[in-house]
Structure 1
């Protein structure tokens, strides 16, 4: 993919210069806007290539969750750029219509826009394959990708003051991210009857690049059509009208991209996943030794294939904290949820969440980031 992206970017940049020159010479808004958009295509391709590479970088001490969200960030940026470009084109088209400026040198305009269409079709063929190639249709395929995020750092800290007649403070935390297969809460067949239309591995980064190239292709086609209409009808207003139509299409196609990428950046949990999580949390409350749970927070991992999170569990008085921790972790992993669990004793109010100190408030702070 990297080589094809670089080749398409070089081709786009070279032809952008040609389009900008002839757009200025022929005074065609369609060709000028197409060249400007092609310039942003080159930027989008560069940013998209960087995002695709960076998303594969391993987690570090500074970025413990890795760089998976950088593709969503790239898609969000591309979507915002597309919206701004479409608004600028519509404003310019309105001004051109009001002025009634004449489009010149129609034959050269037709040839250049036709070549531009050919260049964009090459880009469509390339990125259309990458954009749609990760989309599994509406069939039910049951492979669960729930790998448990590869590094194992099991911090189990418990401090019990044995010199006293009572345990004044005792909690256990666990983050056992072993590399093993697990069911996924994202595809829980028994939880409810909602219909999920396929398992999509598509990402906003490739979608943003594809929309850029698609918008360029539509722009070139619009310039060709408007040039033919100007030649036969004799009215130059077809050029800004075609540009305005394409700008509206770009705007409408960019809104879903911005919304979906923004939701991922904000760590929003989809409704169906939240439904399954609530059922899973209800099961946690039924585990032996569990009095309640507090402050559960969940988000989707990279590629939306794993649910990650943190939560506090309040253990009943007299129960073994390590046993409660093990049971809770095993239950959550069986449901495809990879969670850092903090266990504390009922009545111990020293934790910041305040759950053990007032267990009546527990189970009410369900948050899905």
Structure 2
């Protein structure tokens, strides 16, 4: 029997669908294995389906409120996808290139979701101003049912996220060492929940819930009083609420990405530096750097100028304890003998 030769490119082409199916099944198993990611995925499917319903109804009724709400729901889906991917990436273990792991995926996701919300708010605001000048005819009699259904969908999402155990924590060991005129201390067991990630996704859903409420209110006003101007006014109000609500998320995520000193430590670090400087054998505290790795996980780095007679082990132990009291679980301390 003659041997069968299969072209390598043809083999790769034929096996590509199989590899894609295996890859999708693997990610699906990862998603459904955790309650938080499972709830997020199910709500993503529900949200995406209803976004199309709102868009079709919005075009049919000529309602800016409903159309903008449907586009906002599409952005919600992108936020949910971002949150879903980030929540999985965060669980990846540290390696030689990403020595801190992938926990900052939550910060990136929060920042991206915040920018998306700003874009949505300005889009709704610009469309609202245009319709405020020339209010169009809106078929308000068809709005109420769909807007109520949208409100229910968003309430389901809020409930799912608040009761899905959507959080993340991680622990790490610690160690201390010192040698000669140069010592280091590393330690801590950082613990935190993915607050920025949850906050970004939740803000999208809350803003969309406000959108549904706005559409309901405008539909009632148009039906009862014939106020066609209610549609753009409610949309403007929603846009302003979105901008106000997204500000804390953007402020916190930018602070983390720019490696600002954690806000919660602003009024505590100076007293800690003074306490360390007052330790026996410590001359000065230098090169002080403190930043946030991810939600609730603070990292610090400093250099101590010490006397040659100083007990390095005692100094490192006390320094570590001082900063651990304010929540800095991972601290890197370099000691250097003072020049005589």
| TM-score tier after normalising by the smaller chain length | 0.7 to 0.9
In 2: Cα distance, 1:222 partner to 1:178 partner: 48
1:246–1:272: structure 2 CA closer, same or farther, 3 Å change rule?
A: closer
Report whether the alignment pairs 1:206 with 2:198: yes
Deviations 1:276-320 (A, max 9, x none): 322222222233332323212122454325x4222222222x426
Shift of residue 124, structure 1, vs aligned partner: 2.0
Residues 46-125 of structure 1 mapped to structure 2, 5 A cutoff: 46-104=81-139, 106-125=140-159
Report whether the alignment pairs 1:314 with 2:305: yes
Give the structure 2 partner of residue 15 of structure 1.
50
TM-score, scaled relative to structure 2: 0.79
Whether the 8 Å CA contact 1:315–1:346 is kept in 2: the answer is yes
In 2: Cα distance, 1:238 partner to 1:214 partner: 21
Whether the 8 Å CA contact 1:93–1:241 is kept in 2: the answer is yes
Structure 2: runs of 5 or more not aligned: 1-35
Give the structure 2 partner of residue 39 of structure 1.
74
Give the structure 2 partner of residue 269 of structure 1.
261
1:215–1:14: structure 2 CA closer, same or farther, 3 Å change rule?
A: same
1:112–1:274: structure 2 CA closer, same or farther, 3 Å change rule?
A: closer
Whether the 8 Å CA contact 1:296–1:311 is kept in 2: the answer is yes
Give the structure 2 partner of residue 150 of structure 1.
173
Deviations 1:142-198 (A, max 9, x none): xxx9x983265x66564xxxxxxxxxxxx323244376x9xx9xxxxxxxxxxxxxx
In 1: Cα distance, 2:290 partner to 2:258 partner: 12
Shift of residue 266, structure 1, vs aligned partner: 2.6
Residues 194-343 of structure 1 mapped to structure 2, 5 A cutoff: 203-270=195-262, 273-305=265-297, 307-316=298-307, 318-319=308-309, 323-324=311-312, 326-335=313-322, 336=324, 337=328, 338-343=330-335
Deviations 1:39-70 (A, max 9, x none): 00101011111222222323222222222222
Give the structure 2 partner of residue 127 of structure 1.
161
User: How many corresponding residue pairs?
Assistant: 299
Shift of residue 201, structure 1, vs aligned partner: 5.2
Higher helix share: 2
TM-align CA RMSD: 2.8
1:222–1:88: structure 2 CA closer, same or farther, 3 Å change rule?
A: same
SS in 2 for 1:66: coil
In 2: Cα distance, 1:205 partner to 1:31 partner: 27
Give the structure 1 partner of residue 13 of structure 2.
none
TM-score, scaled relative to structure 1: 0.73
Shift of residue 271, structure 1, vs aligned partner: 5.4
In 1: Cα distance, 2:291 partner to 2:147 partner: 46
In 2: Cα distance, 1:225 partner to 1:273 partner: 43
